Structure 1
Amino acid sequence: MKLTDKNIEELYIFTRQHYVEHYDVQTELVDHLANDIEAICDKNPNLSFEQARDISFKKFGVFGFMDVVEQKSKQVGKRYRKVLWDIFKEWFQLPKLATTLSLIFLFYTLLRLPSIGVYFYYTIIGIYLIYFFTRCRILIVKHKRKVKETGKNWLLEDIIFKLASSNFLILFSNMFNIFRLSELLQKMQYAFLVAVFLVLLLLVGYITLVVIPNKSEKLLEEQYPEYKLV
């Protein structure tokens, strides 16, 4: 039995009905189901498409497609973290290392000034929060618009934009500890550690909110060869 285009479209609908929201995961499951259904129908020609589909689906067990979705999420999440780490390391290698060290030295110098050190710390955190929130809003709107226009939500793209946004929630939930960190400035020997913390915070924010989202098209094409055809 050879599945028709209508059958394939029905399988896409079937995966969405079973809580598979990402197009790339849907495509992988549809390809597996289609091959399995054809094999089942070859052995049992009297079965209908729906009957063969249900037999194939039962092979995924009690939780259906959830295990596959979880495995794919871990796999793609690992890919995202590797990209993040590779870009982060660049800031501690020449020529970007010079910029990183310059920022640490500048922050350290300003934090050590008795009259403005604490105010500078609060100003940097405040500016960071405002920019973080604004940028997150822009990314969320951009992602939702793209999904609506294309009708396709790719797992890696979802991770890129959602993790960037979730970082804001993580930061906001730790604001009490971050503001308490300013107490260390009362002991000037900790000013260097605070300066390093601020620079690392800025780097992670810049990479997750600007660099990786701007590279999302390239990353998607590398992850999904079929992305260029969509």
Structure 2
Amino acid sequence: MKIDWFTVIAQIINFVVLMWLLKRFLYQPILSAIDEREGNIKKQLLDAESQKKEANQAKDEFYHKNETFKREKDQLMQKVTAEAKAEGDRLKEKARNEANDLKISLEKAFTEDQATKNSTMVKRLKGEVLDIARKTLKDLSSVSLEEQTITVFIERINGLKAHEKAEFSEALKGGKPVLVQSAFALSTKQQGLVQKTVSELLKTENTFEFKTRPELITGIEILTNGYKLAWSVTDYLGTFEADVEASGK
């Protein structure tokens, strides 16, 4: 059998050309795509690892800040508690000293003039007691006490007896202006409540003016056309003072 070398060589050349073409246009793009895909995967893994580190770092920072906040909060609470306790102790000590001073003053007064009961000394002591009472009530005034004052005053209006309602209604006839004075500034809501209570109770329409008088000492009063309706600690102190004066005679 005779070998056709031309055909063999041509087939070898065709095979080599085919291999080159496959490598150039098929295998190489596939390998490049695989390398690029592998590179992208590695990059994504690196990004994910970086994000994980950043997340852990942020978590650690948040935990640290949270611990710092809790520690500062506890320190602040301890400081406030200590200051409140110290202030409470100081006020207690002050009240105790004032009570002891008043006791000493009373004992001294009775010792110096037990037989004659010097009227001047007695009046001075009575005045001091009333002044201390007024000062204490003024110092104890608070938003809660003011709200209670308004509540009590509204109850006082609603609890007027028939003849008191008649006198009040008579004073309001003709749309007479109404002056409301209080020891503390009334809020818009409180002003509206007083005005609504008076108007609904007496079926009248009047203009209202609100003023502040600190000397009322936690009190409030209504003045109109010579009529006065009031509630305040001052009234109680006035009654108490009158009783003391009467008992000292």
TM-score by length of structure 1 reads 0.22
TM-score by length of structure 2 reads 0.21
Which structure: greater helix fraction?
A: 1
Higher-Rg member (1/2): 2
Which structure: greater strand fraction?
A: 2
